[in-house]
């Protein structure tokens, strides 16, 4: 299915309205937003990574390069794993603002 300019405009507008409503709710309920953000931000990051890896694997399988797709996914997972381990070694600093 080919996306037309009207579909792009409609979905962009819907996304903008939901973002505006979400921002207004966060401003209204600030203390609850901090509790929710402890879980929502990692969930969003994980969802984005999962979508990227699944798309990478799907495209590589369709192109006949399944081994290269798996190697790329494994390299990405290892990169994130070891970069987190390295960053955990650095002691947290106090905010400068």
Predicted confidence at residue 94, as pLDDT, reads 63
Predicted confidence at residue 83, as pLDDT, reads 92
**Cβ atoms of residues 63 and 72 within 8 Å:** no
Instruction: Report if residue 74 sits inside a domain.
Output: yes
pTM score of the predicted model: 0.48
Instruction: Specify the higher pLDDT residue, 74 or 36.
Output: 74
Instruction: Report if residue 71 sits inside a domain.
Output: yes
Give the count of domains, the chain.
1
Structure tokens at 91: 């002691």
Predicted confidence at residue 79, as pLDDT, reads 92
For residue 69, give the nearest of 81, 78, 79, 60 by alpha carbon. 60
Residue 33, C-beta contacts closer than 8 angstroms, at least 6 positions apart: 25, 26
Tell me which residue has tokens 């970069």: 83
For 53-71, write each residue's pLDDT tens digit.
788 788 888 888 778 878 8
- Which structural domain, as residue segments, surrounds residue 52? 5-89
């Amino acid at each position: 299915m080919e996306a037309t300019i009207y579909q792009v405009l409609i979905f962009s507008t819907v996304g903008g309205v939901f973002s505006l409503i979400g921002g207004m709710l966060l401003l209204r309920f600030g203390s609850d937003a901090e509790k929710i953000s402890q879980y929502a931000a990692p969930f969003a990051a994980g969802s984005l990574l999962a979508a990227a890896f699944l798309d990478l694997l799907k495209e590589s399988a369709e192109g006949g390069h399944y081994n290269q797709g798996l190697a790329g996914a494994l390299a990405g997972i290892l990169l994130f794993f070891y970069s987190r381990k390295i960053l955990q070694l650095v002691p947290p600093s106090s905010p400068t603002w």
